[in-house]
Each structure stands twice: as structure tokens, then as C-alpha cells.
Amino acid sequence: MRIRRRLIAVAFAACLASAVFAQQRYSGYFHALSDLRAARWLLDHVPGDWVRVDDELNAVHEIDGAIDEMRRASIDDGRNVDDHPAMQERYDRPGRLRDAEAYLRRARADIDREEDRGETRGLREREAGRIEGAIRFVESAISGPGGPAPAFVPAPTTMPPPASMEHPSYLRALADLRTARWLLSHVPGDWVRAVEETDAMREIDGAIDEIRRASIDDGRGIDDHQAVDERRDRRGRLGDAESYLRRARADIEQEEDIGDIRGLRARAAEHIDGAIRFVDAAMRF
């Protein structure tokens, strides 16, 4: 019995190690899985009397195809298709569809981080085709011949919603920026940071401050970061930080530069681009 328990424990540890290795090796695909599920949930879980148009159903079909492609390549985090990140849910049709499109574009950027080689050769191209198909269907649903009117309109309130609720892409950028900063700030004990890494953190802080000054804030501390596969090698860790910075850069591009936040997008982009340049420079040493 004792030997059997040991064998089970060894097998479990091997499976766990294999799963961790896969998530480290294909982090872009795993991020894409999460973003695809978020887009799918927004399209599939709609207000009760909202009748979906064909374009929305076709987009869900393309998303399912993209998820299936990854799972066939043994890239799977074991989560249910309805498992999605926390988000600010909109009930107006255009807003909800635009949020779904933003997650799809993030997923598209996620897979571009992956190399097309080895046992996953061809996967990136197949994923891109599926995701771009889903984006086209969502765009068609937004701009198509109207579709049904929004099925549900929230009751009017006396106070306008806070800016953080109106700008989900900036909130996602905040989360990505904090994660990049954490990877640069919390390093292995004997890792002496280069000047470029410190400069990158300064630029990240500048981008976060710009967003917060516009009253866009999720109330989380600077060290509150997304779950990451921590790498202890310098180049891998810096590469992950750069990936989150590029995600943040893509996040803010989803926002319109209008109204009382005019100019914010350009200011935040300048800081993020600066952080990317400093991380790139640090990786060359």
C-alpha cells in the first residue's frame, strides 16, 4: 500500500510538473485561452431577451474552433469554457460587443508572442485565422444592419458611472502594467538590477499615475499582480515583463481619445513605449 501511494504521488507530481512546464513554454497561448473565454462569455451570456444575430453565433463558433485547436495541441489550463476573468459587464449591445472584440484582439496579440516551430508548428497560423474570423463577425454585428435593439437598458441613475467603469481597457492596462512592474521589482535575491530595469519601472509608474489621475483606478495596490509563471533566468523574466508591457500597450489602443480623457492615451503610450525600450536594452546585457 505504501509503495502504491508513493507511485501515485510520483505520477501526480510528474503531471503537475508537466502542466507547469507547458504553461511556462506556451505562456502566450495560455493567455490567449483566457482572453478567448472572456470574449466567448460576453457573446454567449447576454441579457435574457437579447436575441443574438448570426454574426454573434458565428463568432462564438470561431472562438470554439480556436480553443479546440489549442487543446488538440495539449495546451489547456483545465478550466471550463465559461471560466472568465472578472470584468465590468455592459448591457448595451455595442458596448458589450466592443468589449468582446477587445478580448479577441488581445488573444490575437497573445499568440503572436509564440514561435511557430516544433510540435506546435502551424498552430499560430490556424489560431490567427480563427481569431481574425471571430473579430470580423463581431465587427459585422456591431456595424451590420442594426440587429435587434439592445434588449436591456439599465435604470437611469442620478450619478454618472465612475470613469473606471467606462474604460475597461485602461483597467486591463493597469493590471498588465502592475504585473510587468512586479516582474521587474521582485527579482531573485542575488539579482542586481541594471539601470535600464529601474528606468523601466519609473516609466511604468508614470503610465499608472497618468491613468489614475484620470480617475481610472481599480483600487488595487502597486504590487497586486496577475498570476505568473515566475522565471528565475534574467532573459526569460525580462521577456515576460516586456510581454505584459506590450499587452498594456495594446489595451490602451482600444480606448477612444475623446472627452475628458483626451490626451491620456498618448501620454500613457509614451510611458509604456519608454518602458519597453528600457526592458529591450536590459535584455541585451
Give me the pLDDT at residue 215, please.
Answer: 82
CATH architecture of 163-283: Up-down Bundle (1.20)
Q: Where are the domains of the chain?
A: 23-143, 163-283
pLDDT at 154 over 70: no
C-alpha pair distances (Å), 218 with each of 96, 153, 209, 212, 257: 20, 25, 13, 9, 20
Whether the full predicted model's pTM is greater than 0.95, yes or no, is: no
Please check the confidence at residue 164 and state whether its pLDDT lies above 70. Answer: no
pLDDT of res. 129:
92
Handedness of CA 129, 131, 137, 140 (dihedral sign): negative
User: DSSP letters along 159-220, please?
Assistant: SPPPHHHH-HHHHHHHHHHHHHHHHHHS--TT-PPPHHHHHHHHHHHHHHHHHHHTT-----
Q: Could you report the per-residue pLDDT of 64-123, keeping only the tens digit for each?
A: 999 998 988 888 888 887 777 777 677 778 888 888 898 898 888 888 878 877 777 889
